[in-house]
Amino acid sequence: MTKKKCVLLLNRFSYPPLSGYKLKTYNLIKILNKHYSLNIILITDERIDSQTTDFLEKNSHEHKVYTFAKWRFYWNTLKTFLFSKKPLQVGYFDFNHLHKPIASAIQDADVVIPSLTRTTEYVIPVEFKGKRILDMVDSYALSYARSKEKTNSFFWRKIYEIEAVRLHNYEKKLVSYFDTTIFVNREEVAYWSKYGSCKAVPNGVDDKLFAIKAKYDSKNPSIAFFGKMDYPPNVDAVKWYLANVFPLLPDNVIFYIVGISPSVEILKIAKKYKNVVVTGFIDNPYGLLSECLAIIAPMQTGGGIQNKVLEAMALGKPNILSSLAAMPIGGENNKHFLVADTVGEHIDSFNKLLNNNLLSEHIGNEAREFIKENYSWQYYEESLMEVLNRQVH
């Protein structure tokens, strides 16, 4: 049987999968390539390398990469700010001369899937008989509305203030326009469903993580934050924790900040504190994480499901999460994780785990089982294909 044709529009490389979004896109590409004749169109400000090229060649029927210098994206953003009410990040990726070749690629597709809001301008004007499925992932509008109130960065506060309003109007239009919009977060599905068809398709984790044995050295207790460290919500979370919670923990506690691309700001702040280690990229972060007393995610800004939290839970480690990080995951406080929003709640949660090995082990085991049941990539594939089969086949 001839496979139906799917066009996937991306604005970030998916390989190597070193961030939550790239890991998710990596799996999305492999799944779509299995079920469809897949055409990938990538518009990016990142440099392409041989690994990315090899991955795209092996996992698509055809692919086209459009790479431009940063200044051209910035110029797009300035024009959008001055002459349009569209979101800046949509304008950032909108190149007039690409509309015609992308429209041509879409014309005979059975389904077109833009990833995130940022590539949707290439789909909205095109008339074709196929289905339009938006893989929005997270609602930036809802995320930015929260983030503008809590971020400590003057620059990002201004960006959030401008984008929150523009994005809400734009995302409302997208949900109404696309045949189905996919989110990772069930709460966002509930919010946007009044404007159109929305479905929750939560991310997964690598099955290999379930086999890693959780360890803990009570003589040298450590905690860790796990995530891409130039991502503003991660930076905000670590800064808040260092300023408010970490100085109140026992002097012998080591705090590992684990993740690629640590920002200059994080490196500078971390130097002020004793026993804070910024690892940057490491080949196998899971070995280090498995030896910690707990993994923390004191998210103050951002939205959606934090993929690194899912991975940390899959390791069988207790996680201390802010409500913002915990709520999209589901699960129960004091069973699958500990919820802490205030400084006092963070200290209490840490002490609970430090002084009660049985509780720590129980929460870790419950976390692992919860992720096995709800966040495998097999479950992701089944949920995704249920949406696509209903629309396309």
| Domains of the chain by start residue, with CATH | 5-203+377-392 (3.40.50.2000), 207-374 (3.40.50.2000)
DSSP 8-class letter at 376: B
CA-based angle 229:230:236, to the nearest 5?
A: 75
Q: Is the dihedral of CA 264, 93, 166, 132 positive or negative?
A: negative
Average pLDDT over residues 253-265: 94
Place of tokens 């840490």: 350
> pLDDT digit string (tens) for 41-65?
999 998 888 888 999 999 999 999 9
When pLDDT is cut at 50, 70 and 90, the band that residue 14 belongs to is low
Question: What's the confidence (pLDDT) of residue 46?
Answer: 87
> pLDDT digit string (tens) for 21-43?
788 899 999 999 999 999 999 99
Average pLDDT over residues 312-334: 93
- Whether the predicted pLDDT of 148 surpasses 90: no
- Whether the predicted pLDDT of 344 surpasses 90: yes
Decide if 143 contacts 136 (C-beta within 8 A). no
Strand order in the sheet with 276-280: 276-280, 254-258, 222-226, 294-297, 319-321, 338-339
Question: What's the confidence (pLDDT) of residue 393?
Answer: 63
Decide if 270 contacts 248 (C-beta within 8 A). no
| Cα–Cα distance, 41 to 170 (Å, whole number) | 22
> pLDDT digit string (tens) for 79-102?
999 999 999 999 999 999 999 999
